[in-house]
Amino acid sequence: MNKTIALPYPEQAADSSLGKTAGLTLIGFGLLGLLVAAFGSGVIDPVLTGLGGITALTIGGLIYIWQRRTELSEAHQNNGAWTESATSRGAIAWVVGIVLTGFYILLYWFPDSLQGLTRAMEPLSQWLRNRPADQWFLYGTFYTLAVLVMGVHALLKYRNNRYHIIRTLSVMFFQLGFAFLLPALLLYLNQPEFYFSYFWPLKYDYLFPGTVSYLVQNGQALGVFMIFWGAVLSFLATPVLTYFYGKRWYCSWVCGCGGLAETAGDPYRHLSDKRRVAWRWEVAIIYPILGFIIITTLLLWINSWSEGRLLGELSGGFSSTYGFFIGAIFSGVIGVGFYPIMGNRVWCRFGCPMAAYLGLLQKHFSRFRITTNGGQCISCGNCSTYCEMGIDVRGYAQQGQPIIRASCVGCGICAHVCPRGVLKLENGPREGRYAASPLIKREDLNLLS
C-alpha cells in the first residue's frame, strides 16, 4: 500500500494564524458548553450551555475549516494525511474514536445519561416538531450538523472538481431536507415520522408488518403512500437507477450513512484496509447480512399472516437479533465510532445490506464502470490509497482493465487524485463493458525501422 503524498507544505501559513486560533478557541468553548450541558445536572441551564455550545462549535469549526482549506492549493489538500495525529491513527484519532464510540453506547443503551444534552434541544424540538426532545432528535441534530459542517470542508477540499461539488451538495441536501426537516414536519403535523431517503433493506423495518400496519393506521392515505414509496424505491427505482448509474446514485449521492462518510468521514478515507484478506472478510460478512434481513422480513410476514401460529417467537427473535447486532452495534458503534481507526466506510463495506443489494446489481446488471487508460498510469498508487472501499485501483489501471466491482460506491476520488487522468467514471452501454484499453507493449515499440 502506498503511504506517500505527505509532501512538504510550501504555501501553508503558520499554524498559529489568527483565523485558526479563533476557530480553535470557539471549538474549545463549544465543547466546554456541551460538557457543562451534559454533566452540569441543572446547575446551569442546559439550554443556554447546550445550544450555545453547538453554535460555538459550528461557527468555530467553519472558521477553522475555511482557514485550513483555503491556505492549501487544490493540489495539496491531502498533505499530512499520513503524518498528522488526527488522520494517521495517532493519539488524537484514538481520542476521537473513543469519544464517538462512547457516545453511541450511551445513545443506544444509556439514553438517560444524555438527559442534559437532550434537554438542551427542547426549544429546537418544540419549534420544529411541536413535541419534547428525545435522544434520537439529539442524535439527528448532531448528525445533520456534522454532514453540513464537514460538507463545507469537502466543498472547499474538492473545490476544483464539479462532480464532487454537486455530489457533496446532494448529500447535504438529502440529509437536511429528507432526513431531518421533513420527518420533523411530519411529526409537527401529527403524521407518522418517515424518512423518504431510506429504504428496505437499509431501513429494514419499513417493510416489516408491524411498521406497515402502524403507518396505515396512523397515517391513513399518507401512510399508504409511505409504504408504496418505500416498496417502489426498494424494488423498482433501485434496480433501474443502478442499471443506469451504478450504486453511486444512492451510496454517494442520497444515503445518510454515505453522506456522513463522504463529509465527516472524508479525512479518514485512506485508512481503509487494502489487503486481500479484507476483501475476503467483506464478501463473507456483507452478503450473509443481506440474507439475514431477507429471511427476517419473510419470517415476520409469515408469522403475521399465520397470526403467530406458525412461528411463535422465532421471527421476533430474528428481528431483535438483527436490530441489536447489525442495526445498533455494527451501523452505529463500529460503523461511525471507528472512523478514525478503520476508515470511513466500514459499515458500507462490511455491513450494509443495501450496499450488498446495490453491489450485486452494479456488478451484474449495470452500465457503470471506471475505465482506465492504462498506458498513462505511472503506478503512483494515489488512487488505491484514497479509495475508501479498499479497492486496488492501481492494479486495474496498470493492466488497463475497467473497474467493475460490487463494492465501488462511485465516489470518484480515485479519478480526482490521479495525476495522469487515467480513470473515468462511465455509464456507457453494457456491450464491451469488460474490454480493456489497449496497452502499448514493449515488443510493439519500434523506434528504428
Write out the residues near ligand SF4 by the rule CB under 6 A.
370, 377-383, 387-389, 391, 393-394, 397, 403, 408-414, 418-420, 422-423
Nearer to ligand SF4, 227 or 355 (CB): 355
Nearer to ligand SF4, 78 or 144 (CB): 78
Nearer to ligand SF4, 140 or 412 (CB): 412
Instruction: For the CB of residue 346, give the shortest distance to ligand SF4 in the complex, in Å.
Output: 14
b/e map 223-253, b = 16+ CB within 10 Å? beebbeebbebbeeebeebbbebbbbbbbbb
Instruction: For the CB of residue 394, give the shortest distance to ligand SF4 in the complex, in Å.
Output: 4
Nearer to ligand SF4, 120 or 403 (CB): 403
Nearest to 371 by CA among 383, 389, 355: 383
Instruction: For the CB of residue 405, give the shortest distance to ligand SF4 in the complex, in Å.
Output: 7
Instruction: For the CB of residue 352, give the shortest distance to ligand SF4 in the complex, in Å.
Output: 14
Nearer to ligand SF4, 227 or 413 (CB): 413
Nearer to ligand SF4, 128 or 417 (CB): 417
The answer to whether 77 touches 321, Cβ cutoff 8 Å, is: no
Instruction: For the CB of residue 419, give the shortest distance to ligand SF4 in the complex, in Å.
Output: 6
Nearer to ligand SF4, 147 or 393 (CB): 393
Instruction: For the CB of residue 428, give the shortest distance to ligand SF4 in the complex, in Å.
Output: 16
Which three cell numbers mark 129? 416538531
Instruction: For the CB of residue 38, give the shortest distance to ligand SF4 in the complex, in Å.
Output: 36
Instruction: For the CB of residue 152, give the shortest distance to ligand SF4 in the complex, in Å.
Output: 21
Taking each helix axis from N to C end, the angle separating 276-305 and 209-232, rounded to the nearest 10 degrees, works out to 120
Nearer to ligand SF4, 77 or 144 (CB): 77
Instruction: For the CB of residue 418, give the shortest distance to ligand SF4 in the complex, in Å.
Output: 3
Nearer to ligand SF4, 52 or 381 (CB): 381
